[in-house]
Amino acid sequence: MHTLQDRIETLMWENRRSTDGFTYTLPSPELYPFQWLWDSCFHAIILSHFDVSTAKNELRAAFSRPLSDGILPHIIYWGSDTAATNWGREMRGDIINKAWGVIGTSAITQPPIMAYAVWRIFENDGDEAFLREMYPILEAHYRGILKDRVLDDRALAFIVNPDESGEDNSPRFDIQQGLPAMHSADQSLDRRLDRIREHAVCQFQARDCMSKYFAMADLPFNVILFESLGYMSKIASLLKLEDDASYFATTADNVQNAIKQTLCIEGVCRAYDLNSSQSIETITWAIFMPLYGGLLSEDEAKRLVDDWLLSDQRFWSEFPIPSTSMEESSFDPVGGFWRGPVWMAPNWFVYKGLKRYGFDDVAETIKQKTVDLIELSGFREQYNPLTGEGIGAKNFTWGGLVLDME
Ligand code: GLC
């Protein structure tokens, strides 16, 4: 009888590849045959539970191809250009790969959880040399985000493309994408391709593109940013870089305060769209990210858990947590990409947030239901929150995060 940990280790080894002296993990060999940035941070966290040195190599590969402004790209198309061009024709990955304006990577990023991943590895083995090796890359990345993505004195960071949220087709972006609540995957892809074409016009200069096209202060991105800036401060301090340590501590505070003041009302926080100056009313699992970031008072947290998470009209489905509230007209438990199905990274973020506020029983139930999903349907990209049926990519790595639900 193989334990869950055995099965996760086997999956992680089977998805491991080497190219050009780097080794890295594919999220799913069939559907995602390259390296994705926030996936690799999740991989590093999973791997740190059984092989810290492989976890380090995962990040070395993910951090090896920064863009010219220091920001780390969300995809590295390891291998030949042909491999990338032949990839996922029905997903039009071939067109997207060619459109970025840079060779071998994408030109956008993903939620900035990198400093946290590095810190988690350091916590395992106390290897300061690893921190020293990673620091300049991380420093350039976070300074790049703060310089290119913070647009005004509110200190919030804006994303330039829905894919930068990591939740490519979340209904949070429907209004800005000009998409109705129910639409096909093709319609969504068309709009995402339009964004890339527009960005080619503004030469992928985020500030310029954002003033014309798409600029969203997304909630998970900003919560993850302020938390990781805090870890940057800790890392800098350990490396005796006192000026950097205080710079990152101040910027972490600024982002944290800006989230509270600009995005949150009475403990309910939402994304904010720059170009229409409106906050996004659609409720998705992102409403729980302030728990992870510790942004709420005890009362606000309790209300959020009781009224939203544990509501069987909203998020308490047979298999929680649906990526979009079941009350939303965009909720689609099977066909909607980030529009209903359960994804394992949100379950992990919410688990951590619940533990932080002492909701241990609810956290334990989410962990158990997450394990149940794997037992029932294997390692899939998404799961139907009503039935537990697996959806999308197979042999998908994010289920490994249950090892880190502790
Ligand atoms: C999908 C997900 C994104 C992930 C990628 C690779 O595009 O939306 O978050 O990084 O797949 O797994």
pLDDT of 153 reads: 83
pLDDT of 96 reads: 75
Please check whether residue 353 is in contact with residue 287, taking contact to mean a CB–CB distance below 8 angstroms: no
Each residue's pLDDT tens digit, 376-398: 999 999 999 999 999 999 999 99
Q: Exposed, middle or buried: residue 3 (CB in 10 Å: 0-12, 13-18, 19+)?
A: exposed
pLDDT of 380 reads: 98
Asked whether residue 83 carries a pLDDT value surpassing 70, the answer given is no
Integer Cα distance of 338 and 340 in angstroms: 6
Each residue's pLDDT tens digit, 294-345: 999 999 999 999 999 999 999 999 999 999 999 999 999 999 999 999 999 9
Q: Which of 32, 38, 323 to mutate to test the pocket of ligand 1 (most atoms within 8 A of CB)?
A: 32
| Average predicted confidence (pLDDT) for the chain | 95
**Dihedrals phi, psi of 19, to nearest 5 degrees:** -150, 140
Q: Which of 36, 347, 396 to mutate to test the pocket of ligand 1 (most atoms within 8 A of CB)?
A: 36
Quote the ligand 1 centre to 283 CA distance (angstroms). 20
Q: Which of 165, 168, 347 to mutate to test the pocket of ligand 1 (most atoms within 8 A of CB)?
A: 168
Q: Which range has highest mean pLDDT (49-53, 74-78, 207-211)? A: 49-53
Look up the pTM and report it.
Answer: 0.97
Quote the ligand 1 centre to 221 CA distance (angstroms). 14
Stretch 197-224: mean pLDDT: 93
Asked whether residue 89 carries a pLDDT value surpassing 60, the answer given is no
Ligand 1 atom 12: residue of nearest CA: 27
pLDDT of 84 reads: 65
Q: Of 153, 338, 145, 151, whose CA–CA distance to 224 is shortest?
A: 145
pLDDT of 81 reads: 61
Integer Cα distance of 226 and 257 in angstroms: 10
Give the position, in ligand 1's atom list, of the atom nearest the Cα of 337: 8
Give the position, in ligand 1's atom list, of the atom nearest the Cα of 27: 12
Asked whether residue 93 carries a pLDDT value surpassing 90, the answer given is no
Integer Cα distance of 259 and 262 in angstroms: 5
Integer Cα distance of 59 and 186 in angstroms: 33
Asked whether residue 175 carries a pLDDT value surpassing 90, the answer given is yes
pLDDT of 86 reads: 64
pLDDT of 79 reads: 81
Answer with the residue of higher pLDDT: 319 or 88: 319
pLDDT of 103 reads: 83
Query: Tokens 């590295």 sit at which residue?
Result: 76
Quote the ligand 1 centre to 244 CA distance (angstroms). 32
Give the position, in ligand 1's atom list, of the atom nearest the Cα of 38: 10
Q: Of 113, 115, 105, 155, whose CA–CA distance to 136 is shortest?
A: 115
Asked whether residue 14 carries a pLDDT value surpassing 80, the answer given is yes
Q: Which residues line ligand 1 (CB under 6 A)?
A: 27, 32, 36, 38-39, 166-168
Quote the ligand 1 centre to 281 CA distance (angstroms). 24
Integer Cα distance of 151 and 174 in angstroms: 22
pLDDT of 100 reads: 84
Size of the chain, expressed as the number of residues it contains: 406
For residue 121, the cross-strand partners are none
Quote the ligand 1 centre to 296 CA distance (angstroms). 28
pLDDT of 98 reads: 73
Integer Cα distance of 212 and 161 in angstroms: 12
pLDDT of 17 reads: 96
pLDDT of 80 reads: 63
pLDDT of 319 reads: 98
Return the minimum-mean-pLDDT range out of 77-91, 199-213, 308-322, 361-375. Answer: 77-91
Integer Cα distance of 401 and 8 in angstroms: 9
pLDDT band (50, 70, 90) for residue 6: very high
The three state secondary structure string of the chain is: CCCHHHHHHHHHHHCEEEECCEEEECCECCCECCEEHHHHHHHHHHHCCCCHHHHHHHHHHHCCCCCCCCCCCCEECCCCHHHHHCCCHHHCHHHHHHHCCCCCECCCCCCCCHHHHHHHHHHHHCCHHHHHHHHHHHHHHHHHHHHHHECCCCCCECECCHHHHCCCCCHHHHHHHCCCCCCCHHHHHHHHHHHHHHHHHCCCCHHHHHHHCCCEECHHHHHHHHHHHHHHHHHHHHCCCHHHHHHHHHHHHHHHHHHHHHHEECCEECCEECCCCEECCCCEHHHHHHHHHCCCCHHHHHHHHHHHHCCCCCCCCCCCCCCECCCCCCCCCCCCCCCCCECHHHHHHHHHHHHHCCCHHHHHHHHHHHHHHHHHHCCEEEECCCCCCEEEEECCHHHHHHHHCC
Q: Of 352, 224, 329, 334, whose CA–CA distance to 282 is shortest?
A: 329
